[in-house]
């Protein structure tokens, strides 16, 4: 597991998302006072979840075919996507946001 510094809290306002140039590419969201990290690429096609529509119930809707994903679990909540998105633990310490990413096998 490696811990990366994603951003500072003031760089990601409530209701917005940030695309991180990590491997894999990760989308970081700030919703309802919480931060969530998921794979940026939709499990159904070539769409960036950081460009999706963020809802107050901690879901994001894919901008291409409108599957809604739970930001807490990564689960696809409706069709056409059926495969969940990987989620990553997020830690906020002294105004800095960190994400734990598994080491590659």
Residues that bind ligand FES (CB under 6 A): 42, 44-45, 47, 62, 64-65, 67, 80-81
Q: Which residues pair with 61 in a beta bridge?
A: 53, 68
Q: Least separation, in Å, of the C-beta of 5 and ligand FES?
A: 28
CA 27 to chain CA mean position, Å = 4
78 or 92: whose CB is closer to ligand FES?
Answer: 78
Q: How far apart are the first and last CA of the chain?
A: 11
* Element housing 21 (H / E): none
Residue number with CB closer to ligand FES (40 or 97):
40
Residue nearest to ligand FES (CB): 45
């Amino acid at each position: 597991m490696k811990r990366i510094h994603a951003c500072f809290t003031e760089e990601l306002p409530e209701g917005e998302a940030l695309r991180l140039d990590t491997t894999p590419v990760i989308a970081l969201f700030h919703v309802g006072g919480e931060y969530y990290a998921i794979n940026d690429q939709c499990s159904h096609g070539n769409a960036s979840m950081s460009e999706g529509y963020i809802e107050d119930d901690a879901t994001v809707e894919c901008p291409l075919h409108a599957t809604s994903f739970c930001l807490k679990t990564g689960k696809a909540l409706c069709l056409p996507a059926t495969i969940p998105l990987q989620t990553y633990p997020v830690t906020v310490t002294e105004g800095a946001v960190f994400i734990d990413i598994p080491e590659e096998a």
